[in-house]
Amino acid sequence: MHHRVTEADTARALGSGEVPVLATPRLIAWLEAATVRAAAPYTGPDETTVGTAVRVRHLRATGVGGRVEVTAGPPAGGSGRRLTFAVRAVDAAGRLVAEGEIERAVVDRRRFLEGDL
């Protein structure tokens, strides 16, 4: 998934800092979206996944107009209904912007929404 950093994606706009660079919360949201896509083959028709843990290191600033590609590898580790994804973000020059892991749990959509976990 490719993203271009806009003013709305900056730390200043999201309140997570005072500078006009890609905000860590926005970066994590992009990485989580990549894990949702990567998890799709591991869910049944009445299932979805929900995020349960995020361990991400944001290593490099990306200014407004910069491009970032986010990826989530196939699940590695985890047990049963837990899926753990290695995630990465790189800029247009191929430099590492972020890396880490995001864990998702497979849930029955209806039961989850009814609060019957």
Residues recognised as catalytic: 24, 32, 58
Three-state DSSP state, 109:
helix
* pLDDT one-digit tens code per residue, 37-72: 999 999 999 999 999 999 999 999 999 999 999 999
Q: How far apart are CA 110 and CA 95, in angstroms?
A: 41
C-alpha 69: how far from chain center:
11
Averaged pLDDT, 11-20: 96
Task: Retrieve residue 9's tokens.
Answer: 């994606």
Helices (H), 40-85: none
**The pairing of beta strand 2-4 with beta strand 67-72:** antiparallel
Q: Considering the entire predicted model, what is its pTM? A: 0.92
**Rounded to the nearest 5°, which phi and psi values hold at 104?**
-130, 150
